[in-house]
Amino acid sequence: MKYNTKNYDYLIVGAGPYGSIFAYEAAKRGKRVLLIEKRDHIAGNMYTHKEDGINVHDYGAHIFHTDNKEVWDYVNQFTEFNGYINQVVANYKGQLYNLPFNMNTFYQMWGVKTPAEAAAKIEEQKKAVGISGAPQNLEEQAISLIGTDIYTKLIKGYTEKQWGRKATELPAFIIRRLPVRYTFDNNYFNHRYQGVPVDGYTSIFEKLLASDLIDVVTGVDFLADKETYLKEFPRIVYTGMIDGFFDYKYGELEYRSVRFENESFDSDNQQGNAVINYTDAETPFTRVMEWRHFDQKADAGRTILTKEYPQDWDRTKEAYYPVNDEKNSELFKKYRKEANGLKNVIFGGRLGNYQYYDMDQVFGAALKVVEKEFDK
């Protein structure tokens, strides 16, 4: 190890939001922190870089949205948000529909013009399938919320390529992330606060980690030297994969991965929207982002588009999505039990907790653990 471990109160593993907020709050209280990060940059999957005056999100579209005022006020200490409201368009075999599922979608799908007409149509389709009682999987949940037409055209194909599994084998909660509303409102989220940082997300992390009491070392894999770290550091915050920490002793948790292909054009506007989803089963990518539309004030003349392709995960790839089905949830419980037994290690973040967290939830969880650690 290149560092004098005696110099630090905390070792933090991972420079994503959980680890970086913990580091900031520890330093604020005079604690000395060593933060190690496996990749060659900070900010985890929130990492953005600037290209042709445009903030490009390297790990897919990140829109900050929350109802949690404490979290919103907290993140606003480190950045200004631009007021961006996510409004996604779906392309199903050349037909365009507004998302999330709302009166515009219902009008485009069926020509219905009132909430009562839309509700009647959905009820009729739900009845025809004969779904009653609590939905057992994503397919049943989707049909009982918005009927078979929308399920078939806007959900089934997208979901099955996104997750690499049948919609009947996926948990119902995944589709409940999307609002269903009987108003003409295309806002993808229901939360009160929403936006994208004017200078990109990486600048938030530069500020979080700026203290002299925090040393950041990138390109270091904790798991390659785990036993030594555990011996040398009195307290560790670990935000990597929980199954990896325990050497996969009960087996691998499953994740879903994605890969990206970028293309830039001499144009101001290529697709007319920040995000377009391709919801059929055949198109190999799920969505295309045009980054300048997230920024609102991007320089003129160039535009950058990114296609997002879902892919199977293996240990050589980035883990993006935990697959919180029953099998994996049971496995996760075993790892969490082990983790609870390690009193000097705190597990956090999407990978440390194996949860499909949004950014604001990670911020909230980090602030909670900070309170417990320092202000109890």
Binding site for ligand UDP (CB under 6 A): 90, 99, 154-155, 158-159, 162, 174-175, 177-178, 277, 279
Annotated catalytic residue within 256, 290, 295, 354: 256
Residue 154 CB, nearest approach to ligand UDP (Å): 5
User: What is the rounded CA–CA span in Å between residue 129 and residue 8?
Assistant: 61
Residue 154 or 288 having the CB closest to ligand UDP = 154
Report H helices in the chain.
17-28, 69-76, 103-110, 115-129, 138-150, 157-163, 202-208, 226-232, 242-245, 292-295, 326-340, 349-352, 359-374
Annotated catalytic residue within 177, 192, 259, 315: 177
358 is catalytic: yes
181 is catalytic: yes
User: What is the rounded CA–CA span in Å between residue 55 and residue 52?
Assistant: 8
Annotated catalytic residue within 139, 140, 160, 358: 358
Peptide bond into 179 cis (omega under 30): no
Question: Do residues 37 and 222 lie in contact, with contact meaning Cβ atoms separated by under 8 Å?
Answer: no
Residue 175 CB, nearest approach to ligand UDP (Å): 5
287 is catalytic: yes
177 is catalytic: yes
139 is catalytic: no
- CB neighbour list of residue 224: distance below 8 Å, 6 or more residues apart: none
Residue 170 CB, nearest approach to ligand UDP (Å): 7
Annotated catalytic residue within 287, 295, 320, 335: 287
Residue 184 CB, nearest approach to ligand UDP (Å): 18
Closest CA to 351 of 23, 20, 44, 21: 44
256 is catalytic: yes
User: What is the rounded CA–CA span in Å between residue 175 and residue 178?
Assistant: 6
Residue 165 or 334 having the CB closest to ligand UDP = 165
Residue 96 or 120 having the CB closest to ligand UDP = 96
Give me the active site residues, please. Answer: 177, 181, 256, 287, 308, 356, 358
